[in-house]
């Protein structure tokens, strides 16, 4: 069976009988919004294999059916195509609310829709939590810290966000989603959990989503130059997806609201990242420098003492190991999703 970090790219066999879930005395009904996306598909896999009943809800904007194809034959997994901007009636015990485009090119593509997804989508899912008394977890982001003036970032830092820039639809959208979650908890007694996710990578990242790890790895494997934006001295801290999934489940099942930073505190410049990707994927790849985008945060690194001390979670996978774990998935998908053009 495929673990939460496996690439899951095997298509389901036709006529396959439904797989019975592990027996569980009280099966937990989990809703995963954005479940067909990169993180969501790994979370669905983890929960299905744990024996929960999983409803994956997605409008397939940036997610894909391929990401969850390996789960379709489980009898404790179902999919609903739905946009969270509209309310929905379901019976659930836990809501993992992930639905939102996450990469800069996708959230900037239709910024007003991104804002509606963050505000109306989160409000609708909190409304569902209120009616069902389900526990609700919001996947917020390190972007709530903006271009941070405190380094590393602790959860008590309020951030340095431009409210009117090109990234604001995402950053401010997530900030208001956090506000909504805390207000539903204060006003309606909903059990809320908030996780601030730092840059995460792994198998099933969309090849074309423009994020730095997927760009560099696809470029290296295809023999194209790796594109560093700006001087490449900006930093990020990269977390492998299986560490994130364990973090999300730990916070959901734990006793505290948070917010909790969930990320890997080892910090890299984009030049260091490019060199590491070259080393593991294609030592002959070139590196080129291009103009950077607006409002690009200069540095980012989580302080994870809060979750480590209260819930005992910390990341396990080093960047080099994580990159090696995603190479096969990328090679396979580059073959199928980007067929070589006829000359």
Chain positions contacting ligand UDP, by CB under 6 A: 104, 199, 211-212, 215, 227-229, 234, 236, 270, 292-293, 296
Candidates 4, 8, 101, 259; binder of ligand NAD (CB under 6 A) is 101
- The CA-based dihedral angle spanning residues 168, 42, 57, 10, taken in that order and rounded to the nearest 10 degrees: 130
Residues 181, 185: Cα–Cα separation, whole Å: 6
Smaller CB separation from ligand NAD, 104 or 232: 104
Smaller CB separation from ligand NAD, 21 or 67: 67
Please state, in angstroms and as integers, the Cα–Cα distance from residue 140 to each residue in 98, 130, 151, 176, following that order: 8, 20, 19, 10
Smaller CB separation from ligand NAD, 21 or 235: 235
Q: Catalytic site residues?
A: 170
| 229 φ/ψ angles, rounded to the nearest 5 degrees | -90, 130
Q: Is 118 in the site for ligand NAD (CB under 6 A)?
A: no
Q: Is 148 in the site for ligand NAD (CB under 6 A)?
A: no
Q: Where in 14-53 is the site for ligand NAD (CB under 6 A)?
A: 33-34, 36-40
Q: Is 180 in the site for ligand NAD (CB under 6 A)?
A: no
Q: How far is the CB of 211 from ligand UDP (least distance, A)?
A: 3
Strand-pair category, 287-290 with 226-229: parallel
Rounded to an integer, what is the distance from CA 275 to the centroid of its chain? 24
Binding window for ligand NAD (CB under 6 A); candidates: 21-29, 80-88, 122-130, 265-273:
80-88
Q: Which does 128 bind (CB under 5 to 8 A by kind): ligand UDP, ligand NAD, none?
A: none
Smaller CB separation from ligand NAD, 21 or 79: 79
Closest-CA residue to 243 (of 46, 26, 94, 21):
46
Q: Is 139 in the site for ligand NAD (CB under 6 A)?
A: yes
Q: Is 63 in the site for ligand NAD (CB under 6 A)?
A: yes
Smaller CB separation from ligand NAD, 76 or 200: 200
Asked if 216 and 238 touch (Cβ cutoff 8 Å), the reply is: no
C-alpha angle with apex 193: 189 to 199, nearest 5 degrees? 155
Please state, in angstroms and as integers, the Cα–Cα distance from residue 26 to each residue in 29, 80, 129, 253, 306, following that order: 9, 23, 19, 15, 31
Smaller CB separation from ligand UDP, 47 or 323: 323
Q: Which does 296 bind (CB under 5 to 8 A by kind): ligand NAD, ligand UDP, none?
A: ligand UDP
Q: How far is the CB of 98 from ligand NAD (least distance, A)?
A: 4
Tally the residues of the chain: 343
Q: How far is the CB of 205 from ligand UDP (least distance, A)?
A: 10
Strand partners, 137: 96, 193
Binding window for ligand NAD (CB under 6 A); candidates: 56-64, 123-131, 249-257, 317-325:
56-64
Asked if 53 and 91 touch (Cβ cutoff 8 Å), the reply is: no
DSSP string for 314-335: -----HHHHHHHHHHHHHHHHH
Binding site for ligand NAD (CB under 6 A): 33-34, 36-40, 58-63, 83-85, 98-102, 117, 121, 139, 141, 197, 199-200
């Amino acid at each position: 069976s495929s673990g939460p970090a496996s690439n899951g790219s095997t298509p389901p066999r036709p006529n396959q009988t439904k797989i019975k879930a592990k027996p569980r005395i009280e099966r937990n009904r989990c809703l995963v919004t954005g479940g067909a996306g990169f993180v969501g598909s790994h979370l669905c896999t983890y929960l299905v294999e744990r024996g929960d009943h999983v409803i994956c809800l997605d409008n397939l904007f940036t997610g894909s059916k391929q990401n969850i194809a390996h789960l379709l034959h489980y009898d404790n997994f179902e999919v609903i195509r739905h946009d969270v901007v509209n309310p929905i009636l379901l019976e659930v015990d836990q809501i993992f609310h992930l639905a939102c485009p996450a990469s800069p090119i996708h959230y900037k593509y239709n910024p007003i829709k991104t804002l509606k997804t963050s505000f109306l989508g989160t409000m609708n899912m909190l409304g569902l939590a209120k009616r069902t008394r389900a526990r609700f977890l919001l996947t917020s982001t390190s972007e709530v810290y903006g271009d941070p003036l405190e380094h590393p970032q602790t959860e008590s830092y309020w951030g340095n966000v431009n409210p009117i820039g090109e990234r604001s639809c995402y950053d401010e959208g997530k900030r208001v989603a956090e506000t909504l979650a805390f207000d539903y908890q204060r006003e309606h007694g909903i059990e809320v959990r908030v996780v601030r996710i730092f840059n995460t990578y792994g198998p099933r990242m969309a090849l074309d989503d423009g994020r730095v790890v997927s760009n560099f790895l696809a470029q290296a494997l295809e023999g194209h130059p790796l594109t560093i934006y700006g001087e490449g001295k900006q930093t990020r801290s990269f977390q492998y997806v299986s560490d994130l999934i364990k973090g999300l489940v730990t916070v959901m099942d734990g006793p505290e609201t948070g917010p909790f930073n969930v990320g890997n505190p080892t910090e890299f410049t984009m030049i260091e990242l490019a060199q590491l990707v070259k080393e593991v994927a294609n030592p002959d790849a070139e590196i080129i420098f291009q103009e950077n985008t607006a409002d690009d945060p200069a540095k980012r690194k989580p302080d994870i003492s809060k979750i480590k001390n209260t819930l005992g979670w910390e990341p396990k996978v080093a960047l080099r190991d994580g990159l090696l774990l995603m190479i096969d998935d990328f090679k396979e998908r580059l073959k199928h999703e980007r067929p070589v053009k006829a000359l």
